[in-house]
Structure 1
């Protein structure tokens, strides 16, 4: 608090309100930095213990600075050059916040002029229709601007509008921007964005809930509470937010994933104050667990620097022995509508990023993320114990963008910003998704390369200690080699490579057929240098129906890796073609298949493209989980050549069952499930 106050006093004394300036050390108009500094000064004015709390000189300096910026830059009638966001959200939100905080120092004349300016750039009609850039996080920010506008010399009608305009944010959507029933959150039409726009949305909603609680405008819609567990928590691992839902922001700063994780945690604790006690308690335990496990950028210390309100709430939770820290969950979350999957086991976690006919390969815009071309080409992120900084510590500026882990890519050189801007890089492939019973999963992607002729069929089978990876039908006519990147770790750890397996000390083991290539290199970006170990499969120039098979063993020791490589019966590859990909894991009782077309794969038969996961249990029961990743089936028949006696738990979409020497299940219209899995239990 004292540091905040000292900074505010220095800024107060250094202000020079001249033509085209507020401070000499900031460029003008500085849409981000100047309003943010005024806002920070206003906070020092109202918060206790800053040394300038209630200081009249500081209050007047903030008021004068806001009014000067309004006259010089943000005046009604000014030409809103550049990014619309600055004029409608970024600048007014900070100026209004500062003006509200300093209260009477701002005065009626200044208030009237600022209200006029906001009304000019954010007219009421801006909140009239839910479309364009007035959706999702942007809509919440626009409502927050309108609410602040109402608070600046009380305007109940503006408050009514701010609250009413929030209503389209809460219902689930089936296309475009917003929250989906499977937990997906989309912004900019094509991009999964929990870790940026979604974070801003959650913060805005939590703030509005807190401000309006107990007022005539109190919000009662509770759909947003469901999104914490369905949309945000799955992508937080030990306190950081996975890059696969951070869009073009992945390369902004080192440890940006940890910063976003803190922001989401802060919003969850604030929103929890409006939730039912049981929900609040559960969320507090979840955030406490994140904070205790995040050792790379400790959450409480960073909160002291970034967000004093979050620091106070988090400190209270950490100090409360009655709140038990919640461990990382064990299970699988598949979000087909955003082409993302997250798999968790004790000691490790994996995240999968794909692209589809509705989800872009990547997003670039405003000069950001210009080389994120292949982040949607089946990038398999994974974190073992002690490696929570794997993609945080300058990974994105230094990694080879053609060799992202898990991807299959044409090595054709691409220009910076290849493909359409703002995520408009969707490939034609519709079969993207899979089937999960909540613990295990079979996931697949029909991949079409970005600005490339390359095509591939990729499958991942997520298990207890491994991910089995298959590729088939890899074809290209780009005139360059095609590669599958088994892994690309930011590390200088020892790599031991044998004919059928490799081990990266302290990281993982890999099992594969002969022919894998390895590389150790030190890569630089500006003044930053990082070491990498890369393992990849070279499919040659212009391959025709090439394929691959390998097993990733996160956290495995060298002995465990060797033992798995020598156990030829641990996994049976039943099919690996452009028609079907399937495996059998006898020790787990799992038979899983991705049917790119109808046909048979081992004991499984499907009448149409689908994903099937069959799992036998030791108690004489089994589950069969099915999904329609293409989202277009009006009917489906799946046969499992396994003796069965009856159905123990049915599903409304099961329209026919035949048991006996084999099981046949007939399903109705799966298209309406939007790629979600359904599970049937049998004896």
Structure 2
């Protein structure tokens, strides 16, 4: 019998309800209450130590503790300030002032003054009275804002600080109001999450609650957890960088805020029972010492930060100064890493030349390179179509232009003393970033133009490194590469062309002019402005030399320049600028220069005569340099090709890649990367031309979070790779035998019951079927599954009494990278003669994608990542384009476009072999697209595929695509059906309002998570909005799931009704604005109508991608990793959970070791002990229904 769901199992363990343990202070002989008292005192001292200025909003000083008595005097009897507009709704983003924040800042100042020793208002009852009245008035006025941060984070921060500083003295009703308006939660996601958690902890300390204090601190530590999925855009990445607001490097800014929050709370909890664990402290060290430290030498190496003035901390006025306090906190807290933190701190304070880094680190996730030596550091920031170039957080001055437009197009900070740029920023020429090639013309709009180039990346062996940038931005194209050694950096540019009207410059440096400034040994007079030095071979300024091995149209300036930050007085600085002038509209231009940081003028002169490095090639196909003294050769192949190394050696790469050779002989180590193709296989060949002998390095490179990661390996005598399509948990005979086409051979497992055999599919596959041919030992119970990542599996068939032979399992077009048969029981091991899978392949998935521009953090790569939760959004214009490089000429028969509600009414599909000349293969008819998804039959062949939009449906936004998919097949399966019946799917919907037809009511339950309903908008939002669905008849409802767009509600109600007139509350939901998926479960209630109703959190109304309603239960598990022989916990969740319910557990390859913890919310914690290394699982069923869950456990060997 073959079942989709299993029967209940006889071997079972019933799980009792146990409450989690409270934190304890055991062996220290100190009570938890005393620990809380210590933490509270430290937290109050820490808030007081922030100083007089209250600058929660945008760094702007809104109040001062020293003026607290003035605020008390000016407070009116009703608790308001006459000069504060409590009804103001100004969005505080980008520096504007939300007027109610002035009142909040004054409350903060009063609370701080009350608690500050020796302050004139210390312990003054008048200050408490003012706080009591101002809190009561705040409740009455209930100010709101357009920016979620103002109310959800900023307001909560003030309320948390007030309760912590004065909660033990405030009137009870006032304290309750402070608690009410503090919406802090334990949120481990990013910098905003750390703020929310901090606010949660303020209240936890005020309430003296050990459980919530512990929860808050553990959550704070989790904020630095490394995200290994490759999809998170608000987390520490696997390379040690930090992302926020999309795929955007933010190790400064939000990353610095995150470190500050975590370090402060680690310090507050040190030497208490709540203290950070060793693993939690190590996570902080990995992030800062192993990551961010590689971006700082006294000052950040991200030059664009200077467009806004830095704060002054303990006398240091740099962008990196905000690290001072958290570094001091970690020195106190983490003795193991205190010396390393101290070295970083000393460098930022200016008392040490180096911060302790030495080597080369390439951050492949964020496309940033840090190269450090004791005497200097060089930082290079790149940007591809996969990442966000930056976000503009200021007020644009047209006469200055957009200061950050070119900040990540190869911007290279050359730092010896570390202050080469800091004092320069008020007068900086933002169109001559060091290392950048760009047209010299102002951009006078906010935002940052995307780079359409996709071949952008780096290679590093930890000591030396190279990076490359395929430039396609600002009407300018070219290939730029940077190679770093011990004493020098070599920069090469080739194939540079531009159609822009301004002259194109490559800037070697723009820095403070000081010391000797010369070109070819001749002094550059102060006041020189763009002086021509054609053919010059070297230049010098301020401890750094520049060598031009091929000469060129060199230009130099050394003069005073006047400028200012916004709202600041003008200043004058002496500025040195050195650049190559490529002229107006160049074609096939190039350059080569060498930077010698820390060199003397004499050393530069000598180096120019006899360079230590040699440029091997610098053209559109290959850029390569070699350093004979170090035995290092680095090459960038922009297409498959061969490089002559000299001395009878050639180096070849069979695809675009970055390659580094470590050693001059016949057997060097090879380090390589492919930055733009997930899961690429690269073959590097070193040939000795005299003997004709070749040696090979074959790389199987990463995808997801590992895309672009450099890999090092030895050369071998053969280029062959083993067949890895089939893999298994154990193997008496090879898994490949199950894919050799010979039914007489088979994969054979060992004799354990729990086994698996996995088949790898091509990237972009839509799985249509799995075929198994069993050998002598067939499984009697097994599950056929698929997965996108090899970690999370979806079941397609559960067979409970298998009999062997050949079995076919049809699958309805499930997106998958792997198919698997999971064997649960049999007759002492298993034999599989053949396993295969059929699929339709999306040729565009994971391929390099570029565009003429993007909006915000919605990059072109998001349209080919296989995810319907990320999307590309084009420029806010009718005509914009998105292109995909398919890697080779492909035959196309179907293209599927999944539009967001901002879609193109008219567009063309085009193909090209060279990415330059395009041919239409489809154009929309006169009626245009309806927003799709558009499934388009085509007859085309080409390497590149492009969507060229012609007319938007709405002029409010740029066209936006969730995915572009390309297939060689004419018949393409649609999305698979859900595994549970969605009672709301395509049922009649009623709403209070709809904003437009493109976001009409029927789209809220159409089963497509890329279409949505949106209500009418209102500013300020005060009208409740609602949507309701008619299930057709009375059904038991146990779960409602909402997929929100950003226009959500933070406090809403789910209601049910039998007649659509009389309503009963199903659940009330309070949530942070940033949580956009809500699953609400409870014991089943009978209902025909389900309604969601709430006041919008923003002026954009309510907007929901999908409203889903379910009967029955949802039983799920979290994957777990354990060490053999060690105890651990497997976590599961059952929704809804009822007190009478029972969960049954069958152990497969491990043992259940004791009573389990079951929470009232249905969270189940099952204590287990791992068996031998390999795979294991728990099979869960429950008494309330037929649902089951397989909880996978990966068991590793014992640690050494």
TM-score normalized with structure 1 length = 0.80
Q: Distance between the aligned counterparts of 1:292 and 1:523, measured in 2?
A: 26
Q: Distance between the aligned counterparts of 1:532 and 1:207, measured in 2?
A: 39
Compared CA separation, residues 65 and 440, structure 1 to 2 (3 A): farther
- For the 8 Å contact 1:482–1:538, the answer to whether it is kept is yes
Aligned to 1:313: none
Indicate which of 415, 422, 426 corresponds to 1:392. Answer: 422
Compared CA separation, residues 471 and 4, structure 1 to 2 (3 A): closer
- For the 8 Å contact 1:583–1:592, the answer to whether it is kept is yes
Aligned to 1:236: 296
- Structure 1 residue 524 and structure 2 residue 544: aligned? no
Deviations 1:116-144 (A, max 9, x none): 2224xx6x6xx68x8xxxx4100110111
Aligned to 1:490: 512
- For the 8 Å contact 2:431–2:441, the answer to whether it is kept is no
Q: How does 1:172-191 map to 2 (within 5 A)?
A: 172-173=227-228, 174-175=230-231, 176-191=233-248
- For the 8 Å contact 2:514–2:542, the answer to whether it is kept is no
Aligned to 2:553: 515
**Hey, which of these two has a bigger chunk of strand by percent?**
2
- Structure 1 residue 433 and structure 2 residue 457: aligned? yes
Q: How does 1:334-349 map to 2 (within 5 A)?
A: 334-349=362-377
Q: How does 1:322-471 map to 2 (within 5 A)?
A: 328-365=356-393, 367=395, 370-385=402-417, 388-393=418-423, 395-419=424-448, 425-449=449-473, 452-471=474-493
Aligned to 1:107: 171
- Structure 1 residue 278 and structure 2 residue 320: aligned? no
Indicate which of 568, 581, 584 corresponds to 1:541. Answer: 584
- For the 8 Å contact 1:31–1:86, the answer to whether it is kept is no
- Structure 1 residue 626 and structure 2 residue 680: aligned? no
Aligned to 1:594: 636
**Hey, which of these two has a bigger chunk of helix by percent?**
1
Q: Distance between the aligned counterparts of 1:467 and 1:543, measured in 2?
A: 25
- For the 8 Å contact 1:522–1:531, the answer to whether it is kept is yes
Q: Distance between the aligned counterparts of 1:215 and 1:496, measured in 2?
A: 60
Indicate which of 501, 513, 521 corresponds to 2:537. Answer: 501
The alpha-carbon deviation at position 365 of structure 1 amounts to 3.0
Aligned to 2:681: 635
Compared CA separation, residues 391 and 548, structure 1 to 2 (3 A): same
SS at match of 2:174: helix
Compared CA separation, residues 390 and 68, structure 1 to 2 (3 A): farther
The alpha-carbon deviation at position 110 of structure 1 amounts to 0.6
- For the 8 Å contact 2:456–2:468, the answer to whether it is kept is yes
Q: Distance between the aligned counterparts of 1:3 and 1:511, measured in 2?
A: 47
Deviations 1:484-543 (A, max 9, x none): 111112225543223433333433211111321122332222421222121111212222
Q: Distance between the aligned counterparts of 1:190 and 1:287, measured in 2?
A: 29
- Structure 1 residue 55 and structure 2 residue 99: aligned? no
Q: Distance between the aligned counterparts of 2:483 and 2:291, measured in 1?
A: 23
Aligned to 2:609: 566
Aligned to 1:647: none
Aligned to 1:252: 309
- For the 8 Å contact 1:593–1:604, the answer to whether it is kept is no
The alpha-carbon deviation at position 585 of structure 1 amounts to 1.5
The alpha-carbon deviation at position 640 of structure 1 amounts to 2.2
Aligned to 2:624: 582
Q: Distance between the aligned counterparts of 1:460 and 1:531, measured in 2?
A: 28
The alpha-carbon deviation at position 11 of structure 1 amounts to 2.7
Q: Distance between the aligned counterparts of 2:249 and 2:50, measured in 1?
A: 37
Q: How does 1:138-157 map to 2 (within 5 A)?
A: 138-154=192-208
Q: Distance between the aligned counterparts of 1:459 and 1:519, measured in 2?
A: 25
Higher Rg: 2
Compared CA separation, residues 197 and 4, structure 1 to 2 (3 A): closer
Aligned to 1:677: 710
Q: Distance between the aligned counterparts of 2:69 and 2:654, measured in 1?
A: 73
Q: Distance between the aligned counterparts of 2:51 and 2:311, measured in 1?
A: 24
SS at match of 1:439: coil
The alpha-carbon deviation at position 204 of structure 1 amounts to 1.3
- For the 8 Å contact 1:581–1:601, the answer to whether it is kept is no
Unaligned runs of 5+ in 1: 296-325, 420-424, 645-658
Unaligned runs of 5+ in 2: 1-47, 54-63, 87-96, 521-534, 565-569, 645-649, 717-1200
Compared CA separation, residues 536 and 217, structure 1 to 2 (3 A): same
State how many pairs are aligned: 608
Q: Distance between the aligned counterparts of 2:263 and 2:246, measured in 1?
A: 24
Q: How does 1:213-232 map to 2 (within 5 A)?
A: 220=277, 222=280, 223-232=283-292
Compared CA separation, residues 70 and 674, structure 1 to 2 (3 A): farther
Q: Distance between the aligned counterparts of 1:329 and 1:521, measured in 2?
A: 34
Q: Distance between the aligned counterparts of 2:425 and 2:631, measured in 1?
A: 39
The alpha-carbon deviation at position 270 of structure 1 amounts to 2.0
The alpha-carbon deviation at position 272 of structure 1 amounts to 4.9
Q: Distance between the aligned counterparts of 1:4 and 1:445, measured in 2?
A: 44
Give the alignment's Cα RMSD to 1 decimal: 3.6
- For the 8 Å contact 2:697–2:715, the answer to whether it is kept is no
SS at match of 1:518: strand
